[in-house]
Amino acid sequence: MDLSVVILAAGQGTRMKSPLPKVLHPIGGKPMLAHVINTAKALNPQQIIIIHGFEGDLVKQTFHDADLTWAEQPHRLGTGDAVAKALPHIPAHHRVLTLYGDVPLIAVDTLKRLLTATPTEDVGLLTALATDPTGLGRIIRNEKAKVVRIVEERDANDIEKQIHEVNTGIFVVTQSLLARWVPQLKNNNAKGEYYLTDIIQMAAQENISVATSVPSVVEEVLGVNDKSQQVTAERYYQRHVAENFLKDGVCISDPARFDLRGSLQAEPDVVIDVNVVLEGHVSIQKNSRIGPNCVLINCKIGENVSVLANSYLEDVVIGDNCSVGPFARLRPGTQLDQDVHIGNFVEVKNSNIGQGSKISHLSYIGDTVMGKAVNVGAGTITCNYDGANKHRTIIDDGVFIGSDTQLVAPIKIGKEATIAAGSTVVKDVPADKLTMTHQLQQRSIEEWQRPTKLATVTHSHASSLEKDVVPVEKVKSK
Ligand code: UD1
Ligand code: CA
């Protein structure tokens, strides 16, 4: 039988206390609804219908996917009313699987099991045994253990509240049954809403079996209604992702301190130390190591690379055998060839750094093309900005730049040139020569004495607020 998946995503999510619609809040850097859509797609259904409502345009704009059908629910009258808005889009011969946009971690395997375990003409319901069932719909079974209805927390009596078997919100039913039952839903309950869950009672009354199955792990059906549940789902998600990398031979030093907010492609024997945050798309080739507290956003990292502690890398490509950090910042457009060394407190932006070049300490290199085997001394700065425009610096192979040099762009430094420490270079530099921009006249002063520690005295004629600082010697000789 053909399958339509309906995803309920119209709610505001009042308990999130946020202007952002709940289903757009992220888990693992992606909106919750994106997780549910991806899972739905993996089932290869004939169509996916998303019910949108609160900030619906924003929700719709977030997913530019031609394969999705959008149905608007103008007023939040409950999950039953939401499904009513999907019905006109569902052909009569379809089975319907309902998913909730705020239950983001449901796994494809669990849904496949639910679909196969449910005889086509029956209702299939995914339930779970919750340690703490507070806030969830409880599954009511009769003396023969058959499901007869679902009671929402607010409508439950004290005995029903003791039940730990809960509704996940996920079920499968034929279009024809759904089309018959949904218009009959009533809103005479504690919330005054049309509860989709009431169709279970209708099934029981018509003697249609409700087959239940359970998720592989209970965390899959965590509903996210507030920020506390969001971080619970987030931590479960991260641990699950980390465990999968561990199985593939990628060493995640501590799965509890791993955060992937995008996608990661990592080869075996990559080590990712604690508190590393990965965003966008990151790929890391074999034997590379990411030190503690690093942030990597859209990075392509080669083999045998060391990114040392506390480095921040965004939109960069790093060749094999490079070493970066600790405390390095590589900004968008940075490309390191092989064997490059970037040391501590170095910032590189929009620059290509040639093979074997070294920028070891306290430097800013921006809008630069650097050749091979260049040595950049501590405190070197490319002055790339004149207040209005950015200019390029070109440094040829084998250049040696002394410490504390400023290169005022646009500028070209010729091959194998040496620049003396402390130079402010404003013109192109010829190859092979030593260039300096100052006349060094070093001298030593014989009678010079080191200054001594200062004491504070108050002059009698000065106002009480005015204080003068006089060297200790002078105070003594008075
Ligand atoms: C719902 C179930 C409850 C179940 C729980 C599982 C009902 C009546 N209750 O409760 O049995 O245990 O999920 O997580 O179904 N939505 C709409 N339009 C609406 C109302 C809700 O699209 O008018 C969407 C929301 O955006 C959300 C989903 O439906 O994605 C669930 O709604 P929510 O209000 O969170 O229901 P719960 O109280 O969690
Ligand atoms: Ca919910």
Give the tens place of pLDDT for each residue, 375-391: 999 999 999 999 999 99
Q: What is the CATH number of domain 2-221?
A: 3.90.550.10
User: Which single residue is written with the structure tokens 């080669």?
Assistant: 302
> Residue 478 C-alpha to ligand 2 middle, in angstroms?
83
Give the tens place of pLDDT for each residue, 305-353: 999 999 999 999 999 999 999 999 999 999 999 999 999 999 999 999 9
> Residue 201 C-alpha to ligand 1 middle, in angstroms?
17
Atom 22 in ligand 1: residue holding the nearest Cα: 10
Query: Which ligand has the shortest distance to the CA of 133?
Result: 1
**How far apart, in whole angstroms, are the C-alpha atoms of residue 275 and residue 254?**
8
Using only C-alpha atoms, what is the Rg of the chain?
Answer: 33
Q: What is the mean pLDDT of residues 151-175?
A: 97
Closest approach atom of ligand 1 to CA 167: 12
If one compares 460 and 59, the residue with the highest pLDDT of the two is: 59
466 is an annotated ligand-binding site residue: no
CA torsion, points 374, 375, 381, 386, in degrees to nearest 10?
-20
Query: Which ligand has the shortest distance to the CA of 220?
Result: 1
Neighbours of 419 (CB within 10 A): 25
- What is the pLDDT at residue 460? 54
Give the tens place of pLDDT for each residue, 349-358: 999 999 999 9
Looking only at the bridges linking them, the beta strands covering 95-100 and 165-174 are: antiparallel
Residue extents of the structural domains in the chain: 2-221, 227-435
- What is the pLDDT at residue 387? 95
Give the tens place of pLDDT for each residue, 435-444: 999 877 889 9
**How far apart, in whole angstroms, are the C-alpha atoms of residue 149 and residue 197?**
8
Annotated catalytic residues are 361
Atom 11 in ligand 1: residue holding the nearest Cα: 137
Q: Work out the pLDDT band at 48, boundaries 50, 70, 90.
A: very high
Q: Which amino acid is at 431?
A: A
100, 152, 214, best to mutate for ligand 1 pocket (most atoms within 8 Å of CB): 100
DSSP secondary structure code for residue 346 in this structure = -
pLDDT at 472 over 60: no
**How far apart, in whole angstroms, are the C-alpha atoms of residue 14 and residue 226?**
8
7, 79, 140, best to mutate for ligand 1 pocket (most atoms within 8 Å of CB): 79
- What is the pLDDT at residue 461? 54
- What is the pLDDT at residue 468? 53
- What is the pLDDT at residue 409? 98
CA angle 342, 344, 350 (to 5 degrees): 50
Give the tens place of pLDDT for each residue, 70-100: 999 999 999 999 999 999 999 999 999 999 9
Q: What values do phi and psi take at 226, rounded to 5?
A: -145, 175
Chain-centre distance for alpha carbon 170: 27
> Residue 96 C-alpha to ligand 2 middle, in angstroms?
20
Q: Kindly report the CATH class assigned to 227-435.
A: mainly beta
- What is the pLDDT at residue 475? 45
Query: Which ligand has the shortest distance to the CA of 197?
Result: 1
Give the tens place of pLDDT for each residue, 110-127: 999 999 999 999 999 999
